[in-house]
Amino acid sequence: MEQATQIARSHETGIKIAMLYRKRCAKAYEKFTDKLKALTESDGARPLASAAVCMADGWGNAAYAMDAMQRSILFWNTLRERGDEFVQNAISGLKPVLHFDYDMVMDGRGFDRPVNYALLKIKPQAGVVIDPEKRPYIIIDPRAGHGPGIGGFKDDSQVGVALRAGHAVYFVIFFRDPEPGQTMLDVCAAEQQFVKKVRSLHPKSGKPTIIGNCQGGWAAMMLAASDPEQTGPVVINGAPMSYWGGAWSEGEGDNPMRYAGGILGGTWLASLTADLGNGKFDGAHLVQNFENLNPANSLWDKWYHLYSNIDTEPERFLEFERWWGGYYLMNREEIEWITRNLFVGNKLFSGDVKSSAGKAFDLRDLKAPIILFASMGDNITPPQQAFNWVLDIYESTDEIKVRGQVIVGLLHQDIGHLGIFVSGRVAKKEHAQIVSVLEQIEMLPPGLYGMEITEHSDENGKPVYDVVFREHQLEEVASRLNRFQREDEKPFEAVVTISDFVQRAYELFAQPTVQSTANEFSAKLLREFHPLRLQRWSLSQLNPWTWWLPATAQWVGANRKAIDADTPQRKLETAGSEMISATLELYRGLRDAATEATFFGIYANVFSLYLADKHETEVKRAAVTTDPRELPFVKEALASAGQGGYTEAFARVAYLLSRKGEPLPVARLIMREEKKQAYAEYLPKVEADQWRRVRGEQEIIARYDPELAFDTLPKLLDNAADRERLLTLLDKLMADRDVQSVEPTAEQLAMLERVRAVLGGRPVRERRLEAIGQA
């Protein structure tokens, strides 16, 4: 590249970064100003007015002082209870925080390649009946610093909704300490054994549904890709599959976690931390990263919420802290595999990463539907990270169809990352609807769909949900999700290059010294004095200064004198809390803006100077083929237009007669299932995954070359009995009252006329009148 061109690119990049940084900061200040304005203008919450009232209200101030003192004692006693539970859980080795009872089915610690994973079978609650012929569910929780159980954290959870729907539920857990030498590929192999075990326990049911949460989502996809013959539909919730994606809105610096790898210089820090841990990486570091994302909540909001609601909040607070405060470990090999292949490399499904059998993880091999659930309010796994992998591995929507795959996206508007898994509201709505319509999803023709859930009330006021599937094109999803057309992902390629260099330098010059000085005692000392552990055990009964809290809190609880939240003193307190929170939000916005600007200031310039030309050459080479008919999978489908039999002919006619461009409500899919049973003798006998593949191929043929589709249709039905079988089915459907309730379009009638003419049948109108008369 010429020097002048380099300077021009660098100058242009600098201008864009400066403008974006200015915009981010302005947005942060605007939010802060709006918050302060709302505080000062809301009725009864004006700080100065409330302060004046408080100064003149001596009795009210005394009552408030008593209330504040009592709340303080109960607050610190709650933290003492949290510390005691933390110490007890640590001594007992940490247990899953599942709300449900369970039995151990398999323990991976006894496998030939031991792993610290196990398979549990959840026991149904009283009154819940499990249908042994319904497909079982296997739920994989995230191993991202915390322990397992969040998928069954409460009654209204993924476990709860699946049990109440009559499905057997299995849960994949892991223990605190990894087995020596275990790798992520060993974990994947162990989960394959879990799936096979579940299949053997339910021989009459369909293949098990795999549900993966967050990190458990990409683990579930690895499992399904490595053994697609064993797994059923895969549901992944808030799972980061494309780590470079982000920046949904035009507001503050979104998704700052994706910049962490570049800001820290790559993967070397994870290796250093594992080496200091004597070969084990402490999951508390990952949890601390999550807490740093939202300083307003971590440093103030959650504490003030507990303090201000101390009479009702402790139970919920302690329940959540049992999970949030349980820190698990990983081997060095595991965290290095994750950081190199996922966090920084973003190459899990690029074909560069292979399973223990030497086969690349290729999601295009999956035969069962994939459901992707993400939220626009998720700042840890934004929708781009959940969906962009689809854009990376498929050339077009047609490839999805010709491979017979069904991919369904469900997008929540505002729930946060943890809310995707723990919110009872989300469990009752999104997770329950996924379970209820999963069989209908399997009936969808191959393609890319958006799942929409609308809520209304029945005559008794209970919520009722309607589900609609809308088909989308890959290009449409790409433009909708990625506001910057993924230009913002290019600098991450420079991060990979620099990370590999720094990682190698660390391994050559520093790692031998660090490993030789680390030992189990020093590693344990570092873990115990990690800030997140320290804040817990230091406020437990291990601290002699807390001896007075239990008895005092008991006395306070018995003599509690709470004041109303509407008193001026409490309003002033609340306003002050909100001002502190708004200030921390401002800090967060400015910090994220600076992080983003620093990241792009470094890596966008590195990319522009050293990688841009290579990238442009690859893009031009990929863009040479502009005619979709020239794509390999389209050419193969067209070349096979005359090959096949009744199944292929049925699929082709099904597409030709379908209603184009309309959403598919679940009610219509259910009707199709009913018709499927009523007309079983006329339908092809094929497995669902094979049917989807055939259906996708025939759609490609009919859409790209309709004349060829009609010309070759008789070849597929050269058997007279098969031809009459299909024509008879068409007649019966046209006479069916349920089918008649959805009036066929003129286009459908014309297409049906042509199909009958090609196959040598009598005109549609004549046959339809005859069939109606017979009915």
Give the pLDDT of residue 252: 47
What's 377-446 look like in SS3?
Answer: CCCCCCHHHHHHHHHHHCCCHHHHHHCCCEEEEEEECCCCCCHHHHCHHHHHHHHHHHHHHHHHHHHCCC
* Cβ-contact 246, 258 below 8 angstroms: yes
Polymer length of the chain: 775
Which of 160-164, 475-479, 717-721 has the highest average model confidence (pLDDT)? Answer: 160-164
Q: Is the pLDDT higher at 434 or at 49?
A: 434
**CA nearest to 444, candidates 665, 232, 682:** 665
Give the pLDDT of residue 737: 77
**How would you label 407-444 residue by residue, b for 16+ Cβ within 10 Å and e otherwise?**
bbbbbbeebbbbbbbbbeebbbbbbbbbbebbbbbbbb
Q: 772: how many CB neighbours lie within 10 A of its CB?
A: 14
Give the pLDDT of residue 736: 78
CA distances from 662 to 433, 442, 470, 665, 734 (A): 21, 18, 7, 9, 20
Terminal-to-terminal C-alpha distance of the chain: 77
Give the pLDDT of residue 458: 79
For residue 367, name the pLDDT band (cuts at 50, 70, 90). Answer: confident
Give the pLDDT of residue 187: 96
Ranges of H-type helices in 47-183? 47-56, 58-92, 158-164
CA distances from 97 to 152, 153, 216 (A): 8, 6, 16
For the ranges 99-108, 179-188, 498-507, 606-615, the lowest mean pLDDT is seen at: 606-615
Mean model confidence pLDDT for the chain = 88
pLDDT tens profile 137-174: 999 999 989 999 999 988 999 999 999 999 999 999 99
Matching residue, tokens 């723990």 = 422
Residue 139: which H helix or E strand, with range?
Answer: strand 137-140
For residue 53, name the pLDDT band (cuts at 50, 70, 90). Answer: low
* Cβ-contact 398, 634 below 8 angstroms: yes
The domains of the chain are located at: 102-249+332-495, 628-774
Is a pLDDT exceeding 60 seen at residue 394? yes
pLDDT tens profile 268-279: 999 999 999 999
* Cβ-contact 221, 234 below 8 angstroms: yes
- 445-452 average pLDDT score: 94
Helix 706-716 with 746-759: angle, nearest 10 deg: 40
Is a pLDDT exceeding 60 seen at residue 48? no
What global pTM score does this model have? 0.91
For residue 249, name the pLDDT band (cuts at 50, 70, 90). Answer: low
For the chain, percent of residues with pLDDT exceeding 70: 92
For residue 618, name the pLDDT band (cuts at 50, 70, 90). Answer: low
CATH class label, 102-249+332-495: alpha beta
Q: Which two tokens stand for residue 191?
A: 């989960």
* Cβ-contact 536, 86 below 8 angstroms: yes
Is a pLDDT exceeding 90 seen at residue 318? yes
